[in-house]
A and B are shown apart, each in its own frame.
Chain A
Amino acid sequence: MAAVSFREVEKSFGATKVIHGIGFDIADGEFTVLVGPSGCGKSTLLRMLAGLEEISGGTIAIDGHVVNDIESKDRDIAMVFQSYALYPHMTVADNMGFSLRLRKADPALTKERVGHAAKILNLVPYLARYPRELSGGQRQRVAMGRAIVRDPKVFLFDEPLSNLDAKLRVAMRAEIKALHQRLKTTTVYVTHDQVEAMTMADRIVVMQDGRIEQIGTPLELYDHPANLFVAQFIGSPAMNVVTGTIRRTADDAWVDADGGGRWPLGSSASGSDGTRVAYGVRPSDLGVAAGARSIPAEVIVVEPTGAETELLVRVGTNEIVVVVHGRPNAEPGATVPLTVDPNAIHLFDPTSGQTLS
């Protein structure tokens, strides 16, 4: 187990710079998720940590030792690939024991370690099979087993669940998290799926265009996004954002949205009369009920999911998503009153996107 630190890390492919001076620390035993839209540089960063890509600038350290010039095999890391990258000509046991075989480990020790990992992952009945004879989830577990057998300082996961179907993905998510709780090995996990990031991470690093947007625990990012990008990336369905102008009177404050609609502000909200803002509210902080400050909205689509109902409504010209518990009596085309929890709203600078405090 070990801590990992990135210092001013840069990466260029020819003249194109894809990582712009990234620096952060991962504590010993922490489960860190790198998340961002495709092309944000998260996989590249992971591959630099793995030693599969050269580091163009800055330093990466594992357990206090700078690894820039150290080969992958000497970094004491194990990686699980999106395609699993199992050796097709080797049995499950040989796949899992391959790293020990390369280190010329005692065959008895290899067998014991493989057996132990297989037990953890419920792979014991499959040890003599070949990868082609396994299901997707089993292959995924073999790839994890290969990593466990190594007993490395750091586990690296590169979008490991992307090739699985939705149901299996949820199951494997829990398995990986349980595995981490059991082994407590420092883990760096890359995904583009914010739900995976939220459910699995101790800490999330949100990236965009080769830069870090925000680092924090899942709930910190959800409750206190640093900017519009994080606010809209984290959380599903995404946060509703309308731009408008703050209006204040002696006993009331609201935002006049550009497309129409009078969006209430809480008593603690900053910003003087006439300030331009981006007004953000999560779908779950909206409700359908009549009230003094409710906003009339026209229902466009009703999507019942069972316990909750997702409504797509139109306020002025802005389309807003609302998630309500239960089954509201709403028909497409009807007008419903929308209530906002004014203390749950987020205000952002409309040009820089930064959170206004």
Chain B
Amino acid sequence: MSRSLWRQASSEAKLLLIGIPVAIWTLLPIYHLVLFALSPRGQAVTGKLWPDHPTLDNFAVVFHQEHHYLLHFWKQLWNSVLIAVAAGAITLCIATAAAFAISRLRVRGGRTIMNLALFTYFIPAAFLAVPMYKTMGNYGLLNSQWALILAMVTIATPYAIWVLKQASDKLPLELDEAARIDGATPLQLFRLVYLPLMLPSMVAVGTYALLLAWNEYLYAFLLLSDDRSTTLGVALGSFLSADDSPWELLMATGLLYALPPAAIYYAFKRYMVSGLTAGAVKS
């Protein structure tokens, strides 16, 4: 009894030994984010663990765009939303259709496409930044939000196809056959049987693509140079271009920028875990 208790305690101690540093490592930046955002100007760096007079003034400055770094805050936030939602939606459309065609309709060359999709992950996205810049320039899309949307779709789609293909392989083939005998055309099969059953995986993949685009910095920085067309992520980076950066405004804006992904993640948490691991193990 005591032996097993000891073993249990020691294994929990090991977990704690790993867990506590990881928790500190993760929470410390968030703590700083909140600390700076709530501190009056100049007070955050005084070494106190919590400001004497926490204030929401920084948020008011951000919301009223009362600083020259924040002149386009609402426009840039809207750009981020637009680009993330568009990239998520387009990725989802392409990946779902591709997964359906490859996994259910068994189109010729499906295997090759899957292998190519996997192959794209041998090339880091950063390597493609310059070619992508050149390509978007050729199409005349530089400084247009379409450039970033298309780039994000390009990067997210292979993984999305891979995950959705694996997930749709798990649906029994008899369902398609039953629907075919019941009189369904491929499009009806897609709409009435396939989509409803794939919904959990699609939520997960759509969220993945959306967050990928929301968090993107490098491509957004390269492809969108005008203050009015760029995303909030890039705008945050530009705070650091001056020597006397307004840290408390940077952190307040950063905190606002971090809220939507957190909210989305919590809303779709149960789909994320089951959806993204669905393809992980072939059962």
Contacts and interface: CB of A to CB of B under 8 A. Distances in A.
A72 interface: yes
Interface in B179-225: 179-185, 188, 192-193, 196-197
Contacts, number: 54
Contact of A73 (B184, B192, B193): B184
B182 A50 contact: no
Contacts of A146: 178, 182
Given A88-B197, A89-B196, A89-B197, A102 B184 contact: yes
B244 interface: no
A88 B25 CA distance: 44
A89 B199 CA distance: 11
B183 A85 contact: no
Given A85-B172, A85-B175, A89-B197, A103 B183 contact: yes
A79 interface: yes
B172 A79 contact: no
A103 B193 CA distance: 16
A52 B175 contact: no
A87 interface: yes
Nearest to B173: A85
Given A87-B193, A88-B197, A89-B197, A81 B183 contact: no
Interface residues of B, number: 17
Interface of A: 50-52, 71-73, 77-79, 81-83, 85, 87-89, 98-99, 102-103, 146, 150
B128 to A, nearest CB: 39
Contacts of B175: 85, 87
B209 to A, nearest CB: 24
Nearest to B176: A85
A82 B188 CA distance: 23
A98 B180 CA distance: 11
19 contacts: A51-B180, A52-B177, A72-B180, A73-B180, A73-B183, A73-B185, A78-B181, A79-B177, A79-B178, A81-B177, A81-B178, A85-B172, A85-B175, A89-B196, A89-B197, A98-B179, A99-B183, A102-B184, A102-B192
Interface in B123-176: 172, 174-175
Contacts of B181: 50-52, 72-73, 77-79
Interface of B: 172, 174-175, 177-185, 188, 192-193, 196-197
Contact of B183 (A50, A82, A102): A102
Contacts of A77: 181
Contacts of A102: 182-184, 188, 192
B189 to A, nearest CB: 10
A196 B151 CA distance: 60
Given A73-B184, A99-B182, 6 more contacts: A51-B180, A51-B181, A79-B177, A85-B172, A85-B175, A87-B178
Nearest to A97: B182
Contacts of A50: 177, 181
A113 to B, nearest CB: 14
Contacts of A73: 180-185
Contact of B182 (A51, A52, A88, A98): A98
Nearest to A83: B174
A353 B73 CA distance: 89
Contacts of A98: 179, 182, 192
A175 to B, nearest CB: 20
Contacts of A99: 182-183
Nearest to A150: B182
B196 A85 contact: no
A343 B134 CA distance: 93
A85 B179 CA distance: 9
Residue among B175, B183, B197 with max Cβ neighbours from chain A (10 Å): B183
A51 B183 CA distance: 12
Residue among B178, B179, B192, B197 with max Cβ neighbours from chain A (10 Å): B178
A326 B184 CA distance: 57
A99 B179 CA distance: 8
A244 B196 CA distance: 65
B206 to A, nearest CB: 19
Contacts of B179: 87, 98
A83 B174 CA distance: 8
A146 B172 CA distance: 18
